Amino acid sequence: MRSLAAAALLACSVAALGGCAYNETLGRSQLLLVDNSALTQQSEAAWAEALRTQRVSTDAAANARIRRVGDKIVQAAGLTDRPWDYALFVSTSPNAFVLPSGKIGVTTGLLALVQNDDQLATVLGHEVGHVIAQHAAERYSNSAATSMVLSGVQGVAGDYAQAAGAIGGLGAQLGVLLPFSRRDELEADRLGVDYLQRAGYRPSQAVALWRLMASQQQGQGSVPQFASTHPSDTTRIAALEQYIASRGWS
């Protein structure tokens, strides 16, 4: 009974906070107790921590390449309302991440892996897709909602503040970099293809990139870090091929 009451009160809390919203871009509803702007402080803390603790490449040409392609993707996505920062982290592991405040990190391993700017645009488009979809805010909201239920939810505003406070350090702990769900990844793939196509890059190279990632996985016998939490290569490639074909792109 107590768990049912807690769940019922949670539903009321969410409704009161306007937490459930239909996202037309994604074609589904999201639980959003916060939005991207509410995660700015955590994002900035995570970015500062990454820059402080990780080695950052000073290769001017490589950094300029990331910014040039990234800025085209950001413009295609309609996110020029905020400043975007990019950093090239020195690591042999192919990886990339995004923070909702407009920060994108790419590793030297990933830059060495991509064969052209179209494939780099695939990665950056995917990351920007996460921001458009508010995946970090959605994950944060789900965590807060779960915390509210587990704590018994004794009051709407007070318990929400307590729950949010309990996970408020997730940004400083780089929690905003935690893996997204497979659903989120496939959504970001689709959005990323939209943006790279608008920016003048070849959508077919999104498939080529993931075939390349799959071949690296087979060669090394382990999943590259960038792809470690993503859907299987077969699932991702099939979904991309189907979506690109449905749009009549090449």
Residues annotated as part of the active site: 127
Strands of the sheet with 85-89, listed across from one edge = 85-89, 103-107, 96-99
**Residue carrying structure tokens 């859907």:** 231
**Residue carrying structure tokens 């990454």:** 50
| b/e 230-243 (16+ beta carbons within 10 angstroms → b) | bbebeebbebbeeb
CA distances from 86 to 51, 68, 107, 126, 225 (A): 11, 10, 11, 15, 19
Question: Cα(110)–Cα(89) distance, rounded to whole angstroms?
Answer: 10
Question: Cα(130)–Cα(93) distance, rounded to whole angstroms?
Answer: 21
125 and 69 in contact (C-beta within 8 Å)? no
- Backbone conformation region of residue 229, classed left if phi is above 0, alpha if psi is from -120 to 50, else beta: alpha
Cβ count near 22 (within 10 Å): 9
Q: How far is CA 53 from the centre of its chain?
A: 21
Q: Which of 209, 233, 228, 53 is nearest to 124 (CA)?
A: 209
Could you give the maximum distance between any two Cα atoms of the chain, in Å? 62
